[in-house]
Amino acid sequence: MLRALLVLLLFGCAPPAPGVVYVVPIGAPSPAELARAAWAAGRETGREVRVLPARPAPPPGADGRVSAGALLDGLVLGAPADAFRVVGVTDRPLGAPEEGEVIGYARLGERALVYSTDALSPGGDEAERRARTRRLVAHELGHTHGAGHCRAGCLMASAGTVRDLDHLADDLCPAHRARALAALQAVPGDPDWQAGVARERLRLGRFEDAVAHLREAVSARPGDDRLRTTLGVALMARGDLSAADAVLATAPDAPGARQARAALAAAAGDPARAVALLDAAVDPRRGRAAGVAYARRAVTTITFVEPEIVVAAGPLRVAVADPILPRRPNER
């Protein structure tokens, strides 16, 4: 009862939305930092927040920093079934490829974020520390909602140092505000949530899991071409090419589905059909070049090159617009 009352007070008398935000201590962040993380995560998501038992910090790399990307992978794979978001909080310095030390890190459109309390300045009173933590958590949550970096004046402006963080705007620009509000509508178990989890699994090579989540999403929302295209791509990744073609054929007007079917046609030894499918896709120039580079091989790899999924069959590479991430016309 007391907990229910506290939750109501936190969220301004509205009951929390379905799904839980899990805070995961990594290493030994202080109880005060965990309390700030939980407060900020609840405030920014309108969800119930639960703090999980601490996990040991992995050993640092040669640069003395823990890999932020590896932590994110562990957080999404270990997320409880009702996780809306997972917030990793560590006292260790974090590093990311090509960026060196980072304060916080999140992958676009994935549910996990992580940040380090190591670089957070100990100065200021509790209100200032909370404000700083809130900006950091809200910024990384913005990435989980699919937002890239934005112009100055938006909470999504690039921030590499604590000084940058202290100068970040308090609020999102209107476009990113709209994106955040849309992302906050997702409910664990609904088709959009299933598609998001599937995307995480695809990136991590867990194709079986991805197919299972996408089948659930498609059965709940059978008319959605994006979901069927993604299921087809996941089946290709699993090596189930005839099932992939059958699913992709149910989304005949989706450009991504045509491109993926062209890769399948090429892989099956039918370059003429591949070229015809690619000619019908959005970008005939790129499509024809890919179709001509035909190979009698099964699809071997699928990689993510934002904002596209690249399907490769031997020397053939077909770029399929990522059907899950929304378009980002004014970002980066």
Instruction: Name the site residues for Zn ion (rule: CB under 5 A).
Output: 150, 154, 156, 173, 176
Q: Quote the least distance from Cβ 33 to Zn ion, whole Å.
A: 20
Q: Quote the least distance from Cβ 213 to Zn ion, whole Å.
A: 27
**Cα 239 from Cα 43, distance rounded (Å):** 43
Is 90 in contact with 63 (CB distance < 8 Å)? no
In this complex, which beta carbon is closest to Zn ion, that of residue 167 or of residue 296? 167
In this complex, which beta carbon is closest to Zn ion, that of residue 41 or of residue 233? 41
In this complex, which beta carbon is closest to Zn ion, that of residue 156 or of residue 234? 156
Q: Quote the least distance from Cβ 151 to Zn ion, whole Å.
A: 7
Is 255 in contact with 243 (CB distance < 8 Å)? no
100 DSSP β-pair partners = 96
In this complex, which beta carbon is closest to Zn ion, that of residue 143 or of residue 228? 143
Q: Quote the least distance from Cβ 326 to Zn ion, whole Å.
A: 14
Q: Quote the least distance from Cβ 94 to Zn ion, whole Å.
A: 13
Q: How far is CA 162 from CA 118, 119, 139, 142, in A?
A: 10, 7, 13, 18
Q: Quote the least distance from Cβ 51 to Zn ion, whole Å.
A: 24
Q: Quote the least distance from Cβ 43 to Zn ion, whole Å.
A: 19
Q: How far is CA 244 from CA 82, 247, 311, in A?
A: 29, 5, 13
**Cα 88 from Cα 55, distance rounded (Å):** 10
Structure letter (DSSP) for residue 190: S
Burial pattern 79-89, b for ≥16 Cβ within 10 A else e, equals beebbbbbbbb
In this complex, which beta carbon is closest to Zn ion, that of residue 146 or of residue 196? 146
The sign one gets for the Cα dihedral 262, 267, 271, 273 is: negative
Q: How far is CA 29 from the centre of its chain?
A: 25
In this complex, which beta carbon is closest to Zn ion, that of residue 150 or of residue 248? 150
**Cα 132 from Cα 136, distance rounded (Å):** 6
17 DSSP β-pair partners = 47
In this complex, which beta carbon is closest to Zn ion, that of residue 179 or of residue 261? 179
Question: Judging by DSSP bridges, how do beta strands 301-305 and 308-313 pair with one another?
Answer: antiparallel
86 DSSP β-pair partners = 22, 112
Phi-psi map region of 98: left, alpha, beta (phi>0 left; psi -120 to 50 alpha): left
In this complex, which beta carbon is closest to Zn ion, that of residue 150 or of residue 165? 150
Q: How many CA atoms lie within 13 A of 21 on its CB side?
A: 29
Q: Quote the least distance from Cβ 155 to Zn ion, whole Å.
A: 7
Q: Quote the least distance from Cβ 58 to Zn ion, whole Å.
A: 22
In this complex, which beta carbon is closest to Zn ion, that of residue 154 or of residue 299? 154
